[in-house]
Chain A
Amino acid sequence: MIEVKNLTKRYGDKKAVNDISFKVEKGEILGFLGPNGAGKSTTMNMLTGYISSTSGQILINGVDILEDPKKAKSYIGYLPEIPPLYMDMTVDAYLGFMFDLKKCKLPRKAHLNDVCNLCKIGDVRGRIIKNLSKGYKQRVGLAQALINNPPVLILDEPTVGLDPNQIIEIRTLIKKLGKRHTVILSSHILPEIQAVCDKIIIINKGVVAADGTADEIAKSITNEHKMTLRIEGNTHTAADKNEITEALKSISGIKYVRADMEREKGIYDYDVEAEEKVDVRRAVNKLCQEKGWNILMMQLSDLTLEDIFLKITMGESIGESKESENKPRPRINLVLDGENTAAAAEPEEAVSDEEASEAESADVTENNDGGEQ
């Protein structure tokens, strides 16, 4: 559906985007992840034909955006970082204008109603855009992108400025839309990307730093083992903490131990990192048996997207090479409570299957095709 080959954008000497290539299939949701100034918006602006690339090729539905821009653009619905809203118009007038601008052939009234219902802006349609809250403006921007049912949706930070409820709504909506449309969305909110996207591309300083599903990226980045332990000592005092820390450190294969907070009275958590490909769980168990301690919890923590993101982006700023494979990276000791973010993403994944049935309603408008012709 979308094919990008060796895309480069140069501003003077500075390369904002450098040799990016990727492919998005129909019905996929691709997440663009990257720190501010990484080239996310520049890439999106090139994809939509707002700016042109210095070199490289972009094919939207097989159409080159530079060779046949009108046709390629007609496949795209775009929500830029700042929604392109005319502040002096009412929502209805604005959407009508975008409808005409996109030369939409669908039945006008029905289509606009559908789009408004989908974005939940039905109750503000008569109001002047200037007076709407940021969340509503964002949703009007999204509605505008949905007009004419484009097969490709490109959304630049669609949830910025929304309250938590609205964020969940928009995410659900995007997942729904992803069933029928090809969606590219950018964000610097990591759980969001993880919750919504099938595929992730991490961009840093204009190059693709990692690419694949969250799991694939995690695997390619590292083999290290991290786990969290909760061990009950004998005395239930801080002395336990030091003793256990020291004892854990003495196990061969463990290279880092840090005592964490007191989670239960007199009982502490320990963050343990083992060397690559060494399983230390049995050794830890044995140690505790010998000492008469009780293991109350043992949790392996895989890298979350957050860890990966920090690793990639911070690694580079220290001056390491761009490729992630097989190169030593500066050690970053993450204090993030990684499991929680991963866990939070899961329930939403589960919900998504149930949404499949609802997906019909997301694109009612497509059924209206040809109604008026």
Chain B
Amino acid sequence: MGAIYRREMGSFFTSGLAYVFLAVFYLISGFFFYNNVIAAGSTNTAPVFSSMFIIVLFLIPILTMRLLSEEKKSRTDQGLLTAPIGLWEIVLGKYLAAMTLFVIAESIIFVYAVILNYLGDVVWVTLLGNYFAMLFLGAAFIAIGLFVSSLTENQMTAAVASMVALFFLYLFDGLITRISNETLYKILAELSFYSRYMEFTQGIFSVPSMLFFLSTAFLFNFFTVRVLEKKRWG
């Protein structure tokens, strides 16, 4: 797992993908920070996080698109799958590499907090709650992106398909309001990524939501392992 993790990290930076990802993330979060916090004369960082939902949704597929699709295309998966390592090690190595980059990007928020500290009092509890909320959201989204990447050989297909999948999760709340069946609506509402995330930005640290995101992450990593497994039997 360590070898794959290190290779992926190296590859993120040599390919320049990491720089693009970080630059875009910093630029947009910086804009939201300036616009919604500093210029608004507030010390509440929650608006930055709520606005970032949609940005993360478009950025994460860029991070995950080539993780497995490229291996298949260049036939390097033969090297991985015939090495004496398990499928979970392959998937987790790649997953954790993407997670690391996401954490590096997201941690910019502490720089903002330090800036904010000069202008007023930072509400650290809300800030940390939001930080972790975004971390959990990223964990789930990256797992979904990695799963989509395992399904195709083309990284552009993987990127677009993951964006569509994640965008669907964003629109999910709007879609289910049309459902008239009360029970069905309640069940589906529980599955909403957006409202669970927004709960966090309102300052509520919800353990069920945290578990929801983390189990989504686990589930999709499990699916990815199954996809790799199934390919051997195909």
Whose C-beta in chain B lies nearest to the C-beta of A46? B232
For chain A, residues 32 to 70, give those with C-beta under 8 angstroms from any C-beta of chain B.
45, 48-52, 69-70
A188 within 8 A of B: no
Q: How far is the CB of B97 from chain A (nearest CB, A)?
A: 13
Whose C-beta in chain B lies nearest to the C-beta of A85? B76
A270 within 8 A of B: no
Binds B, one of A22-30, A100-108, A195-203, A359-367: A100-108
A80 within 8 A of B: yes
Binds A, one of B8-16, B128-136, B188-196: B8-16
Residues of chain B with a CB closer than 8 A to A69's CB: 84
> In the assembly, what is the distance between CA of A360 and CA of B11, in Å?
38
B81 within 8 A of A: yes
Q: How far is the CB of B28 from chain A (nearest CB, A)?
A: 27
Judging by beta carbons under 8 Å apart, are A78 and B234 in contact? Answer: no
> In the assembly, what is the distance between CA of A45 and CA of B15, in Å?
30
Judging by beta carbons under 8 Å apart, are B78 and A78 in contact? Answer: yes
Q: How far is the CB of A349 from chain B (nearest CB, A)?
A: 32
Across chains A and B, the number of contacting residue pairs, with CB separation under 8 Å, is 76
Known contacts A48-B82, A74-B84, A101-B79; is-contact A87 B74 (Cβ 8 Å): yes
> In the assembly, what is the distance between CA of A11 and CA of B11, in Å?
35
Residues of chain A with a CB closer than 8 A to B184's CB: none
Judging by beta carbons under 8 Å apart, are A73 and B84 in contact? Answer: yes
B226 within 8 A of A: no
B186 within 8 A of A: no
Q: How far is the CB of B90 from chain A (nearest CB, A)?
A: 10
Judging by beta carbons under 8 Å apart, are B84 and A102 in contact? Answer: yes
> In the assembly, what is the distance between CA of A74 and CA of B78, in Å?
14
The B contact surface, by secondary structure, is helix
> In the assembly, what is the distance between CA of A45 and CA of B14, in Å?
31
Judging by beta carbons under 8 Å apart, are A70 and B85 in contact? Answer: yes
Judging by beta carbons under 8 Å apart, are B75 and A82 in contact? Answer: yes
Judging by beta carbons under 8 Å apart, are A78 and B82 in contact? Answer: yes
Judging by beta carbons under 8 Å apart, are A70 and B86 in contact? Answer: yes
Q: How far is the CB of A79 from chain B (nearest CB, A)?
A: 10
Whose C-beta in chain A lies nearest to the C-beta of B76? A84
* A101 contact from B14, B85, B232, Cβ within 8 A: B85
Known contacts A84-B77, A86-B76, A88-B15; is-contact A52 B232 (Cβ 8 Å): yes
> In the assembly, what is the distance between CA of A144 and CA of B10, in Å?
19
* A49 contact from B3, B6, B7, B82, Cβ within 8 A: B82
Known contacts A97-B7, A100-B2; is-contact A51 B234 (Cβ 8 Å): yes
For chain B, residues 48 to 90, give those with C-beta under 8 angstroms from any C-beta of chain A.
74-86
Q: How far is the CB of A264 from chain B (nearest CB, A)?
A: 53
A342 within 8 A of B: no
> In the assembly, what is the distance between CA of A220 and CA of B86, in Å?
44
Q: How far is the CB of B107 from chain A (nearest CB, A)?
A: 26
Residues of chain B with a CB closer than 8 A to A85's CB: 74, 76
26 contacting pairs across A/B (C-beta < 8 A): A45-B78, A51-B231, A51-B234, A69-B84, A70-B84, A70-B85, A70-B86, A73-B82, A73-B83, A73-B84, A74-B84, A78-B79, A84-B74, A84-B79, A85-B74, A85-B76, A86-B74, A88-B15, A89-B7, A93-B10, A97-B3, A97-B7, A100-B2, A101-B79, A101-B83, A101-B85
Closest 6 pairs between A and B when the two form their complex, measured CB to CB: A84-B79, A100-B3, A74-B84, A73-B84, A84-B76, A48-B82
Known: A71-B84, A74-B84. 16 other contacts (CB 8 A): A45-B78, A49-B82, A50-B232, A51-B232, A70-B84, A73-B82, A80-B82, A84-B76, A84-B78, A84-B79, A86-B74, A86-B76, A88-B11, A89-B14, A97-B7, A100-B2
